[in-house]
Structure 1
Amino acid sequence: MRLGLQVPNFTWPNGQNELGTTFGQIAERADAVGLYSFWVMDHFFQIGFVGPAENEMLEGWSALAFAAGRTKRIKLGTMVTGVTYRYPGILVKTATTLDVLSQGRAYLGIGAAWNEEEHLGLGVPFPPLKERFERLEETLQIAHQMWAGDQRPFEGKHNQLTRPLNSPQSVQKPHPPILIGGTGEKKTLRMIAQYGDACNFFARMGDEALKHKLNVLREHCANLNRPYEQIEKTTLDQMVLTKDGRDGTLSPQAAIDQFGKLAELGIDHAIFSLGNVHEPETFEILANDIVPVVDKIQVAGR
């Protein structure tokens, strides 16, 4: 089973002046302890689930480029880019640049976008949900076309590209894996089956809800003649790790048990954020007590 770290919060005790240093150290430690992936949100304001909008928020793709320069092997992705934030051709170019400069370590995480506050605040158009899903599908089509090296004009309802040139091409072949965020059963899960390489669900949905979503995804794959096994199943969670599980935190064994249950459901890749991610001890726990064990957990159906 694979483990990934998401960093959604950049408000740390040592303050904004040390933000770059702390973020770089977190990326380096995640790489050193053997985590498979490293993720940041693609938001411009902090989201209410994490903190007030005024809290520090780094732009996602430049943060990942910075992390790429501080790491050697860990995969890098956005969890997830809102389709409204960038023109599709520019987004594919951005993801390709990260893949090239990191020597093949990029994910393209993408979704239909939802945070109206930051759109309005920064002057980004926020179309209705139906249009956002239309734009998401066109962006996925454009990504596949550009990564295939097909320079024919793209004529969509919302996007027109006269020459979708992408040079240099991505290091990963046929392209960086596309993770599509969201759990909608009619549109999102169908798009994952048709265009995606990975899905992402909230781990705290519970076993029965996760099983149901995976079954719906399986049905979409069958309808599209897409092998279900080709889709990487990922979850997102949050936790605080301590050696002894004090004060409601998770002990190493409790975390391992959680990851094991996800693997039994068929989850390949458990991604989590850590409330104490800025503390070096957290990575010592991951390195010594968790990652070596979880690496050996077999995923059901694999």
Structure 2
Amino acid sequence: MRIGLTVPSFKWPGGPGQIGEHLARIASTADQAGLASLWVMDHFFQARNNGRPEDPMLDGYTALSFAAAHTSRISLGTLCTGVTYRHPGLLGKLITSLDVLSKGRTYLGIGAAWYEEEHTGLGVPFPPVAERFERLEETLQIILKMFSDDQTPHLGRHYRLDRPLNSPPPVGRVDADRPHPPILIGGSGERKTLRLVAQYGDACNLFDTPDLPRKLTVLREHCARLGRPYEAIEKTALTNFPWKDDPRNDPKAAVAHLTRLAGWGIEHAVVAMPGIHRPDAIAALAKVAEEVADVPPQEH
């Protein structure tokens, strides 16, 4: 099992003037500790499940670019970019630029968007859910076109790109058949989201909830219908380490927590834990990551 770290909040000691210092230390420490990935949310406002909308929230790709300059090995991505946030042509260019500058360490994390308050607050259109999923599928088609250097026009229902030129091309690659940065699609909707994962994605991102094994079963069924190998999809899950499972407090509980996810079929756990700006946080998580590195995911 691979272990990543997510940064869900920038409310750290010292206020805005110290955010950069904290983020640089977190990114470089996670990189040096051997963690597999580093993630940030892509939101305009802080999500209410993590704090108040008024709490500090950085632009996701600015934060990742900053992190890329302080790291050399760790993978970087958002959990997740809402399809409504940026025009797909600009998003393709943005992801490719980050991938080139990080030497192929970028995931494209994307989803249908859900946080209406931040959209209305900044005047960003927030279409109905059905349209957001239409836009998500069309955006995935456009991004894959840009990744493949196909410059033929895209004339879709929601977007028109006369020449989706993308130079320089990305340097990251999933494998020989998909020579581009991995596309991670976040969400657990069984009818639409998991079908999009099977059709377009290289990774899913699910929540650590009791129905997670069933979600993976549904994903397998979508893959079978579409003729896509289920094994080609990286199974990731976002999991929260409360204080009782925090590796600083109880490493055995943290190992058990992650082993349970592997037993459900998860290959890559993205961990949220409190106090990640503290010097001991990432070191403790890295020790737990070593403990579970050889724990294989169980197929269902």
TM-score > 0.5 by shorter chain: yes
Q: Specify the SS of the correspondent of 1:218.
A: helix
- 2:289 aligns with 291
Q: Which of 200, 216, 227 is the matching residue for 2:205?
A: 200
Q: Specify the SS of the correspondent of 1:262.
A: helix
Amino acid at match of 1:193: A
- 1:260 aligns with 259
Query: Per-residue CA shift, 1:27-79, capped at 9, x if unaligned?
Result: 11111111100000000100100000000000000100000000010000000
Amino acid at match of 2:3: L
1-side partners of 2:249 and 2:256: how far apart?
A: 10
Query: Per-residue CA shift, 1:202-223, capped at 9, x if unaligned?
Result: 11x12xx111100100000000
- 1:277 aligns with 276
* 1:180 and 2:185 matched: yes
2-side partners of 1:213 and 1:250: how far apart?
A: 31
Amino acid at match of 2:67: A
- 1:13 aligns with 13
2-side partners of 1:164 and 1:301: how far apart?
A: 39
1-side partners of 2:223 and 2:283: how far apart?
A: 40
Q: Tell me if the contact between 1:10 and 1:56 (Cα under 8 Å) persists in the aligned partners.
A: yes
Q: CA deviation at 1:258?
A: 1.0
1-side partners of 2:171 and 2:270: how far apart?
A: 24
Q: CA deviation at 1:8?
A: 0.8
With 291-300 and 62-71 compared, the bigger mean Cα shift is at: 291-300
1-side partners of 2:241 and 2:14: how far apart?
A: 21
Q: CA deviation at 1:239?
A: 1.6
Equivalences, count: 295
- 2:214 aligns with 212
Residue ranges of structure 1 left out of the alignment (5+ in a row): none
- 2:176 aligns with none
* 1:73 and 2:41 matched: no
Alignment RMSD:
1.6
Amino acid at match of 1:29: T
Residue ranges of structure 2 left out of the alignment (5+ in a row): 174-178
1-side partners of 2:282 and 2:159: how far apart?
A: 44
> TM-score when scaled to structure 2?
0.95
> TM-score when scaled to structure 1?
0.94
* 1:107 and 2:112 matched: no
Q: Specify the SS of the correspondent of 1:106.
A: coil
Q: Tell me if the contact between 1:241 and 1:252 (Cα under 8 Å) persists in the aligned partners.
A: no
Q: Tell me if the contact between 1:239 and 1:250 (Cα under 8 Å) persists in the aligned partners.
A: no
Amino acid at match of 2:285: L
Q: CA deviation at 1:241?
A: 5.9
Query: Per-residue CA shift, 1:271-298, capped at 9, x if unaligned?
Result: 01121101011122123x3121121212
Distance 1:112 1:250, change over 3 A: farther
Alignment of 1:62-101 (within 5 A): 62-101=62-101
Q: Tell me if the contact between 2:8 and 2:272 (Cα under 8 Å) persists in the aligned partners.
A: yes
- 2:57 aligns with 57
1-side partners of 2:154 and 2:121: how far apart?
A: 31
Q: Specify the SS of the correspondent of 1:4.
A: strand
Q: Tell me if the contact between 1:233 and 1:269 (Cα under 8 Å) persists in the aligned partners.
A: yes
With 217-226 and 265-274 compared, the bigger mean Cα shift is at: 265-274
Amino acid at match of 1:291: A
Q: Percent identity?
A: 56
2-side partners of 1:214 and 1:87: how far apart?
A: 30
With 162-171 and 231-240 compared, the bigger mean Cα shift is at: 231-240
